[in-house]
A and B are shown apart, each in its own frame.
Chain A
Amino acid sequence: MIVTTAMNSDIQISGTQSTPTVRGDWGTGCLTMQGDSYPENAFELFDQIIRWIGVFLEQNRLPLRLELHLVYLNTSSVKAMMDIFDLLEGAHRQGRQVSVDWRYHAENERIAELAEEFREDCTFPFAIEPKQATS
């Protein structure tokens, strides 16, 4: 796992078969996560992401947008995503502009149902949209 992260900067984690590709752009406020997530140590992976989001929400005034192309998540990853959404929810209640854009392959409707489960307690904008089969 190659990780580059520093305060006030981009985050870049290259994906593997069992971990998603993560790219957080400090300049645009867009955090993208793509792929499957069943890492051996989910805490280690998600801790950096959660920290990056925390610092961004604290120090950057731009809106934060999460673009998720996640497919399979193991239990630890589901928990971590719930923590991330909790973090966004907290920020949203304090007036921060945050949003989630969950993209799924149209032929995999089940992923959309799972995204809806995640969305349940969120009051910030949370879109679940199909994408074209090509990407």
Chain B
Amino acid sequence: MTSAMHPLLEQIEALLAAPDHRDHPLHAALGQLYRLHVDEQKRLERLLNIADGYQQFTQADLANLKHQYERQLNKERKLSRISDRYQQLMRERNQALKTAATHDPLTGLANRRLMDERLIQAGVDAVRGGKPFCVAMLDIDHFKQINDRYGHDGGDRILVSLANSLRDQMRAGDLCGRWGGEEFVLLMQNTSLEQAGQIVARLIEYLRNLTFAVTDIPVSITVSIGVTEHSMVEAPQDTVNRADRVLMDAKQEGRNSYRLAG
């Protein structure tokens, strides 16, 4: 950045250069002053150039930093986004594993592990709330014959249909589980033996009139049920064992029926 020469400087330069003034007593001193001034002006310009350059450099540096910061910020956002989605995926996988661990894969009903858990909890709730719960054990009559006649696929299809019927017919708060083989368990909380008796009576009647489509021929089944009420002092496992014994009684007394035991 060189500024145009000041008119005064031009004038002095011209005066110094004129041969007429060479012998003037002030000529030498004015000449020195003039050169000193020109040097000082050059230094000042150099200084300004450096300062401008430095400012430009700082600005470029700042812009570069800003760019890097934005890039980093975008990266962080992307990282969080992807990471959150992996975490979500993991949560869903855990949920699926939990379902697999607590449900029967064939019928989708609660498995024995979950039923055991719920029975223990029902025992605690019953004592705390002072309201009893009932357990019903349900077994398909002559299931072996069904398997023999329709094969295991046919038998499985009946188990699945029966599980669906149980889910439909029981009340919303009741829990149906597959205890094993062709044996099912029903947990009815806040329910007296009398109420449970009415529920299973309706259920047995419903199942009696139901036909299952196994092959082209509709198949009917009957079930036997043993029902009992939990007494506040016993362990839930004892309640289950009693329900199982009452079920055996129903079987021995001709099947296709239910028995109650307090």
Contact = CB atoms under 8 A, between A and B. Distances in A.
Do A and B share a complex?
A: yes
Interface of A: 72-75, 78-79, 82, 110-111, 113-114, 117-118, 120-121
A118 B86 CA distance: 12
Contacts of B90: 72
A120 B78 contact: yes
A75 B83 contact: yes
Interface string B69-91: 00000010011011101100110
Contacts of B81: 117
Contacts of A72: 86, 89-90
Contacts of A120: 78
Nearest to A113: B85
A78 B82 contact: yes
Interface in B83-130: 83, 85-86, 89-90
B218 to A, nearest CB: 35
Given A72-B89, A75-B79, A118-B82, 5 more contacts: A75-B83, A75-B86, A82-B79, A114-B85, A121-B78
A33 B69 CA distance: 31
Interface string B172-196: 0000000000000000000000000
B79 A74 contact: no
A57 to B, nearest CB: 21
Q: What secondary structure prevails in chain A residues at the interface with B?
A: helix
B79 A79 contact: yes
Interface residues of B, number: 10
Contacts of B83: 74-75, 78
Across chains A and B, which 9 residue pairs bring their CB atoms closest together, nearest first?
A: A75-B83, A78-B82, A117-B82, A78-B83, A110-B89, A79-B79, A73-B86, A114-B85, A78-B79
Interface string B30-43: 00000000000000
Contacts of B82: 73, 78, 82, 114, 117-118
A78 B89 CA distance: 14
A82 B85 contact: no
Nearest to B89: A110
Given A75-B83, A78-B83, A117 B78 contact: yes
B85 to A, nearest CB: 6
Contacts of B85: 110, 113-114, 117
B86 A78 contact: yes
Contacts of B89: 72, 110-111, 114
26 contacts: A72-B86, A72-B90, A73-B82, A73-B86, A75-B83, A75-B86, A78-B83, A78-B86, A79-B79, A82-B75, A82-B78, A82-B79, A110-B85, A110-B89, A113-B85, A114-B82, A114-B85, A114-B86, A114-B89, A117-B78, A117-B81, A117-B82, A117-B85, A118-B82, A120-B78, A121-B78
Residue among B81, B82, B83 with most chain A CB within 10 A: B82
A26 to B, nearest CB: 30
A75 B85 CA distance: 10
A78 B75 CA distance: 11
